[in-house]
Amino acid sequence: MTLKKQILTAAIAGTLASAAMATTDGKVKIGVLADMSGTYADICGPGCVVATQMAIDDFGGKVLNKPIELISADSQLKPDIASAIARRWVESEDVDTIGGLVSSAVTGAVTQVTNNSKNIALITGSASNGFTTKACSPYIAHWTYNVVALANGTVKTMVGEGKKKWFFITADYAFGHALETVSSNVIKANGGEVVGSVRAPLGTTDFSSYVLQAQASGADVVALANAGNDTVNALNAATEFGLTESMDIAGLLVFSQNTKAMDGNVAGGMKLTTGFYWDLNDETRAWSKRFKEKHGEIPSMAHAGAYSATMHYLNAVQKAGTDDADVVMKQMKTTKPNDFFAVNAEFRGDGRMVHDMLLVQIKKPAERKDEDDIYKVLKVIPGNEAYNPMLDECNFSR
């Protein structure tokens, strides 16, 4: 067949085939794309699905008089797999909104798809601040936390305490780079110095050579700009090689599951920033108890964030009377999120959900009542102190 004929055929077929963009069919279908079995599975994997389902159930299971559908898939932490799933979901399976989303590389790839197709992305697991700056979009809701909040919490506090020289062990992808950059800026702005850094691939299990480099650097603090099992493994290596005897370790992103996996005698005393702690007050305790009954483990901030984001989204759909993304987003930004997770919160024009963060300290085993009693809350960091200010060009509410 000649090329011309092929083009003609294509043109005809093209008009017949549906140019599937976001469908406004009055039915809400949420897809949770998370890490079901990899390094971040405990943080936002099956638990994020559970949390999202809880929100749907608590909301009543129906919105706009139609049942709410929930599907889920495993991103396997690979951008190409996640991107293909997201594309298939929004182009041929009528998914309205994609939630979960952990690992900034995966989230980056997925939001490329959802921004083009005008679907909402509820980012609950990822940390990179790029989603509300360089890569901002009117269809992004960055809910739970980001690297700026982590740095402004942990790093600022420690530099203030006199820990001036820092060495970074960084996960070698978008999240790690962003966290290191932002933290370095905070260090320098507060009179500190970054004496060195090293990049480790995501999923590294043996940190011995990186730990050796850290030891040789003469730093006061070794910052772990990674998460999940990477943090646990890095801490283990640091302990094994005696680094913890002469230097502090700062886990910049630590979830409750990781804390429980660490040796309390070594990790005890470490300060970290989190968006949620189950034992903070009666409200958080009540919700966390329900979550633990369904999931078998206390919730991480990603789980709580997934619930909160889904709830806020469904409320907005109800109020707006449609599942059209533009209208719903506008509605979401007009109402202030308010639940056990989103405290003193505001959902800004750039898609950043700003809320109070917590600076906590890991309890030593002797101080713990039971295995879940892991943190001592040191102070509450108000949202506007924790987060980056909104950029003019990303303000989609004007």
Partner 1 sequence: MINRKLLIALLAIGLLAPLAVYPVFLAKLLCFALFAAAFNLLLGFVGILSFGHAAFLGTGGYVTGWLMLNSGLTPELAIIAGTLAGALLGAVYGKLAVKREGIYFAMVTLALAQLTFFIYLQAPFTGGEDGMQGIPRRALFGLIDLSNNTVMYYLVLAIFCFGFWLINRTIHSPFGQVLKAIRENEPRAISLGYDVEKYKWLAFVISAALAALAGGTKSLVFELASLTDVHWHMSGEVILMTLVGGVGTLFGPLAGAALVVTMQNYLSGGELGNYLHIIMGAVFVICVLSFRSGIVGQLQKFKRNNF
Partner 2 sequence: MSGLLDINFFALSGQLLVGLINGSFYALLSLGLAIIFGLLRIINFAQGALYMVGAFAALLGLKYLSLSYWQALIFVPIMVGIFGMLIQVFLIRPIANQDHLYSLLLTFGLALMLQGIFTHLFGSSGLSYPTPEALKGGTRLPFMYLPNYRAWIIAVSVVVCGLTWWAIEKTKLGAYLRAGTENPQLLQAFGVNVPLIITLTFGFGVALAGLAGVLAAPVYSVSPDMGSNILIVVFAIVVIGGMGSIGGAIITGLAMGVIEGLTKYFYPQASSTVIFVVMVIVLMIKPSGLFGKEA
* Interacting residues with partner 1 (CB under 8 A): 1, 3, 6-7, 9-11, 13-14, 16-17, 19-20, 36-37, 73-74, 76, 78-81, 83-85, 87-88, 91-92, 104-105, 108-109, 112-113, 172-174, 201-202
Q: Write down the least CB distance from residue 205 to partner 2, Å.
A: 4
Region from 40-48, 110-118, 137-145, 357-365 binding partner 2, contact rule CB under 8 A: 40-48
Nearest to 50 by CA among 93, 100, 5: 100
Residue 71 CA to its chain's centroid (Å): 19
Q: Which neighbouring-strand residues pair with 376?
A: 361
Q: Are 226 and 170 in contact (CB under 8 A)?
A: yes
Nearest in space to 291 (alpha carbons), one of 306, 281, 274: 306
Which of partner 2, partner 1, none does 335 bind, CB closer than 5 to 8 A by kind? none
User: What is the side-by-side order of every strand in the sheet holding 271-274?
Assistant: 271-274, 357-362, 375-381
The reply to whether 257 sits near partner 2 by the rule CB under 8 A is no
End-to-end CA gap in the chain: 52
59 binds, among partner 2, partner 1, none (CB under 5 to 8 A by kind): none
**Would you count residue 209 as binding partner 2 (CB under 8 A)?**
yes
Could you give phi then psi for residue 259, rounded to 5 degrees?
-60, -45
Using the rule CB under 8 A, is 6 a contact of partner 2? no
Q: Which is nearer to partner 2, 240 or 283 (CB)?
A: 240
User: Is residue 39 near partner 2 by the rule CB under 8 A?
Assistant: yes
Cβ neighbours, 10 Å, residue 338: 14
List the structure tokens of 250.
């700062």
Strands of 130-241, DSSP E: 140-142, 165-171, 193-200, 221-225
**Phi and psi of 132, rounded to 5°?**
-120, 15
**Nearer residue to partner 2 within complex by CB, 96 or 180:** 180
**Min. distance of Cβ 87 from partner 1 in angstroms?**
6
CB 182 to partner 2: min, Å:
23
Pick from partner 2, partner 1, none: which does 9 bind, CB < 5 to 8 A by kind? partner 1
Question: What one-letter code names the amino acid at 206?
Answer: D
Q: Which is nearer to partner 1, 73 or 358 (CB)?
A: 73
Coil vs helix vs strand at 205 = coil
Distance of closest approach, residue 295 Cβ to partner 2, in angstroms: 15
Site for partner 2 in 62-91 (CB under 8 A): 76
Of residues 223, 175, 343, 179, the one with CA closest to residue 275: 343
Nearest-CA neighbor of 175 among 112, 105, 101? 105
DSSP designation for 371: T
What residue 132 binds from partner 1, partner 2, none (CB within 5 to 8 A, per partner kind)? none
Distance of alpha carbon 288 from alpha carbon 301, whole angstroms: 11
Q: State the nearest-atom distance from the C-beta of 295 to partner 1, in Å.
A: 16
- Residue 38, contacted partner among partner 2, partner 1, none, CB below 5-8 A by kind: partner 2
- What does 209 bind: partner 1, partner 2, none (CB cut-off 5 to 8 Å by kind)? partner 2
Report the interface residues with partner 2, using CB under 8 A: 37-42, 76, 198, 205-206, 208-209, 212-213, 215-216, 218, 228-229, 232-233, 236, 240-242, 261
